[in-house]
Amino acid sequence: MCSVVKLSESDSYLQERICILKTEKALRAGGKIKLTAKEVEVNKLILDEKSAELSKAHKNVSEYLPSRHFFQAKGDIDRSKVFSIIKNIPKGASLHTHLLAAVSVDFIVENITYRDNIYGCFLNGNFKLTFLQNANQDTRCLWKELKEYRKEDADFDNWLRKQLSLEVENPAATYPSIDVIWQRFKKIFTTAYDMLCYRPVFEDYIYQLLTELYLDNVMYTELRGTFMPLYELNGTIYDTEEFFKIFIATVEKFKQVYPKFVGVRYIHSIYRGVTSEVLKSGLDELMGMKIMYPNFIAGFDFVGYEEEGKHIVHFHKELSEASRQLKFYFHAGETSWYGYTDLNLVDAVLLNTSRIGHGFGLPKHPVLMEMVKARDISIELCPISNQVLMLNQDPRNHPAVYLIANGFPVVICNDDPSAWGATGLSYDWYVVFMAMTSEKAGIEVLKQFAMNSIIYSAMSDHEKIEALEKWNLDWNKFLDNILNVLA
């Protein structure tokens, strides 16, 4: 630690100041990384661009993109020089992505919804999409082909995009509260689910998901999803075993075309509002599938609006028993409440979760903070999700800033990118880099985030070593490219 300042000695004062800043730098994420000569050169170029962009914001805060709502800032982010650098960074892995909101809405509308045999209808107040041989095959409602909707309404595609995402021009007016936006958010999944369960679409959807990640320099992903009853037009419905066979075959097909892509793991998700009996049955089925597909199924998580569902402690007996065979990756602390919903963090840690999804409420719990760091539990940070879903308006004030500043193992994730018109990881990386790290933090923190995503993945130790070796080759190519372009 630095010695006590002697205010009468100006030189001592400045030395003390330097000492404090150096000590803080060593503590924060990336602070222990020693840069190579090439990384030092690239770091100067990156920090020049970061400082230039922040300098504009210092003079005019309206120029500061991360504090603007993502829907209104995205176009300007696309034009940012810092963002263009981040897009080219080999980011390692995407570890917190929900399967049903992971592909761009443009692809869904322009590719999937223009196929033959796709129908839509309103059911219980929600617009649903599905594939049918004819409208009479499903009697739940009055199905109509999408081409008929398009004949009746020239603006149908724009309307459909709004059913599949949260994007609006004025989010503050459209979503006046967190409860309102969550109710709207849940409807997106209702609209898309049946459509994505159609086996040919499911395969193309997974392939496109991996393509969008790969184009954003992501080499591995872990996807949260449910067992989807895939079907054919003739009415054939595949069981859970076939679901995994089709899923894995699609991943392998992608890897054959893109051999640099390392792979996929699946984290099974169950709605946090189920009964104990439903959870027990679901966990038993998952454990059976885990035996069959041990290298594909990573573990288990709860999903859903954390304020609505039951707290994890409600299921602690069932989960404790399942922990002998399953790893957990719990969403926990995705809340502003203190001493209520955030107590899911206590149970996540007690149940030995491998990672914590969001962990927004973690800094309110000093004992848990120590336990998380001692147990080396990483935090899945999803800053754009937290802003859009109204947990945090300005990422400069996000609780994870404290975690990053104190060197907690943080992994940058994208959560449900299609719901806010994003693809890949770069937008979340940009927000974290520009708003949640020090202005003086450069390539060392970016390198740490990428390495964290591999180190804290569900891959085996051997796979992690191989992935880090592949990532390091891409990292060095990135350094060379930056020097060629910006030097």
CATH of the domain at 428: 3.20.20.140
Is residue 229 one of the residues assigned to a domain?
yes
Is residue 314 one of the residues assigned to a domain?
yes
Is pLDDT of 276 > 70?
yes
CA 307 from chain centre, in angstroms, equals 20
Q: Give strand pairing partners of 225.
A: 268
Determine the average pLDDT of the residues in 190-211.
98
Measured CA to CA, the distance from residue 211 to residue 258 in angstroms comes to 9
Residue 159: exposure state from Cβ atoms within 10 A (0-12, 13-18, ≥19): exposed
Is pLDDT of 3 > 80?
no
- For residues 146 and 133, state if they share a domain: yes
370 is an active site residue: no
Q: Domain end: 128, 144, 179, which one?
A: 179
Q: Identify which has the larger pLDDT, 103 or 13.
A: 103
Considering its fold, how many domains does the chain have in total? 2
Tell me if 368 sits within 8 A of 374, measured CB to CB.
no
Each residue of 24-45: pLDDT tens digit? Answer: 999 999 999 999 999 999 999 9
For 169, 425, 444, 483, the CA distances from 36, given in Å and listed in that order, are 45, 26, 10, 14
- For residues 245 and 331, state if they share a domain: yes
pLDDT at position 62 is 87
Each residue of 70-94: pLDDT tens digit? Answer: 999 999 999 999 999 999 999 999 9
16-19 own/partner pairs: CB under 8 Å, 24+ apart:
none
Measured CA to CA, the distance from residue 264 to residue 270 in angstroms comes to 19
Tell me the helix, strand and coil percentages in the chain, rounded to 5: 55, 15, 30
Is residue 48 one of the residues assigned to a domain?
no
pLDDT at position 174 is 96
pLDDT at position 127 is 97
pLDDT at position 309 is 85
The model's pTM is 0.96
pLDDT at position 9 is 58
Determine the average pLDDT of the residues in 385-408.
97
DSSP of 120-172, one letter per residue?
EEEETTEEEEEE-SSGGG--SS--EEHHHHHHH-TTHHHHHHHHH----S-HH
- For residues 163 and 220, state if they share a domain: no
- For residues 236 and 144, state if they share a domain: no
- For residues 153 and 221, state if they share a domain: no
DSSP of 202-227, one letter per residue?
HHHHHHHHHHHHHHTTEEEEEEEE--
Q: Domain end: 148, 179, 210, which one?
A: 179
| % of the chain beyond a pLDDT of 70 | 98
pLDDT at position 10 is 61
Is pLDDT of 212 > 90?
yes
- For residues 90 and 116, state if they share a domain: no
Determine the average pLDDT of the residues in 390-403.
96
Is residue 340 one of the residues assigned to a domain?
yes
Is residue 40 one of the residues assigned to a domain?
no
Is pLDDT of 1 > 80?
no
In the chain, DSSP finds a helix count (H) and a strand count (E) of 20, 12
Is residue 16 one of the residues assigned to a domain?
no
* DSSP H or E run through 298: strand 297-303
Q: Domain end: 150, 179, 208, which one?
A: 179
Measured CA to CA, the distance from residue 410 to residue 53 in angstroms comes to 24
**One-letter amino acid identity for 216?**
D
pLDDT at position 486 is 79
Question: ∠ CA 454-458-463 to the nearest 5 degrees?
Answer: 60
Tell me if 436 sits within 8 A of 397, measured CB to CB.
no
- For residues 320 and 282, state if they share a domain: yes
- For residues 249 and 172, state if they share a domain: no
Measured CA to CA, the distance from residue 44 to residue 378 in angstroms comes to 29
Neighbours of 102 (CB within 10 A): 26
**Contact residues for 29 (Cβ-Cβ < 8 A; gap 6+):** 404, 405, 407, 408, 410, 437, 441, 445, 448, 449
Q: Residue 467: name the closest of 306, 265, 204, 239 by CA.
A: 265
Confidence band (pLDDT; 50, 70, 90) for 8?
low
- For residues 170 and 203, state if they share a domain: no
Domain that holds residue 431: 86-103+199-474
pLDDT at position 6 is 53
Neighbours of 467 (CB within 10 A): 21
Residue of 334, 365, 398, 444 marked active site: 334
Tell me if 33 sits within 8 A of 447, measured CB to CB.
yes
- For residues 259 and 296, state if they share a domain: yes
Is pLDDT of 5 > 70?
no
| % of the chain beyond a pLDDT of 90 | 94
Residue of 96, 358, 365, 398 marked active site: 358
Is residue 21 one of the residues assigned to a domain?
no
pLDDT at position 13 is 86
Residue 434: exposure state from Cβ atoms within 10 A (0-12, 13-18, ≥19): buried
Tell me if 77 sits within 8 A of 85, measured CB to CB.
no
Tell me which DSSP letter residue 333 carries. -
334 is an active site residue: yes
pLDDT at position 14 is 87
Q: Give strand pairing partners of 358.
A: 332
**Contact residues for 336 (Cβ-Cβ < 8 A; gap 6+):** 360, 361, 391
Measured CA to CA, the distance from residue 195 to residue 113 in angstroms comes to 9
**One-letter amino acid identity for 355?**
R
Tell me if 317 sits within 8 A of 292, measured CB to CB.
no
- For residues 268 and 387, state if they share a domain: yes
Is residue 4 one of the residues assigned to a domain?
no
**Contact residues for 356 (Cβ-Cβ < 8 A; gap 6+):** 330, 332, 333, 345, 348, 349, 362, 372, 377, 378, 379, 380
- For residues 266 and 133, state if they share a domain: no
